[in-house]
Chains A and B, each alone.
Chain A
């Protein structure tokens, strides 16, 4: 019998993640419809379940991998810089579309939860889910939602967008690289950006810019919502 403590060694989480990712990337190269991130994570979850390995043990090594999200996010300035001349000539379209998309995303999130009869806690936790996780959990806390629930919803929104986003956009008439990048960054933050940057530097640069802009716009759009909630605090 293996001592379960061995899984608490960071080497376990790190190597499982890298091996799963390498295998998933190979599958993705053969079968282009297979989504690398979905395969990687599905494989890891299946392994943890099959081996009865607690998520907390996996997390020791997983955190080391996730650490690189910081410098990778900073690195998004490079495609932005290299593609800047093409992006700047459409500055109006960039600002208008990200502003409109972020208000549409948060308003429809709230409206759909309400229409489907979801609770107030779910509604408030759902509204900020389109922006990058550190911003969305902060906004959720200020709104009175559940930051944990928002963190999960944010990641799932990013994952779903990165799986169905580019194909859906193309099918529905969004074909320019710049427009695809902006739509992915606005609705699916870093996970959507990580998907499109593998295919096009312009899409990646636009998506990284849209992710940062959507974080700022969404924070601004939610200000009137705080006032409204404050004014109606006792009534809901």
Chain B
């Protein structure tokens, strides 16, 4: 059993004391930011990115991964108790989870969410371990054309998944791609968009943009909206019974299975990940239910399925990042950034060169899920208290941490000034209804997209048909065109708007 020996090797890496400690730290931070509304994994990961510079690459990756899937656990706590999505993938959990809490079944809802997530996390870990080898082999057959088409597909998928008008998301992607071009153009040696400042020769740093646009931008927007008013306290109710009833279990377990399966599949797709998985899982449960009217009134399936799906999706979205080096969503784009800091270029070659990185992180996911179930269920009281910390104390701390983070990447005050500028830009984007997530993905993929385009065109002697002559590449471009066409068609457009309106 090849697979078992790999997992065994991974466990031996993940169980090293330092890796265990940072897995725990990552899970704690993940739960924390999952619980706190308004602070998502994307901003947090980018703030902590510079700190991981001082760790071993595998340790850094283990910690960052823990933050992402840890946030999926924490997000459900806030959704259930306060009816606010602590994390955007927990939006649908609010619908039934909070109703359960109102009916005095908060404990059951939390337990189902936690246990469902744990089951999904375990399955997703095995799926990753099983899929990595075949996918890596497939990736080695990829040429420039396939990579280009895959990135186009990923960018289009991110556009489709973004909230708001499609044309805005497309524009944000292009702005991201343009920002990615800043710096020295390697083949020609020409400085592009640097305006003569040597600090920009190496290009913009992902951390600077992410902290500015996501971190600072959302702080300004929240302050303007008067965030403190939002921290309502439905929290005074005591959580008495944590264990779900037998009836809850009977209804929940098929939903957990379906959610897990769905999340594992959707996580791998370009544009996929936690958010897509949880939305789809909820919609499917409502379709399958004998009595759909129970949904929105505390149906346990409405908690079990999306919570399992978002955790499974969060984990399997590592697959395309690890095997192809192409991030399927913005959070994975940060992961690519983290690997690059350590001089590891994600892609199929990593499996050969750094097997410890691969298997160590995968094994740590299962250990992390085990930690999270302990962090989230018996210790739930601590997190509930945290929800009571007012925003006026929270945001200055976030400001300070992110500024130190940006500064320490290159010891550069110039980067901090840039981040302040991007903060204003992020605020402007929020003001005019542009969601910035596609920008982050565009920024990371920009240089790679240009490079593969150039290479493919050079090899084909300038014939753009090369992208359609290779079957895999052609299939990916057609898929991208089809999803874009489907979303732009008037009927679907209406449905999509309704789907997104369920978000408060």
User: Is B truly associated with A?
Assistant: no
List residues of A whose CB falls within 8 A of some B CB: none
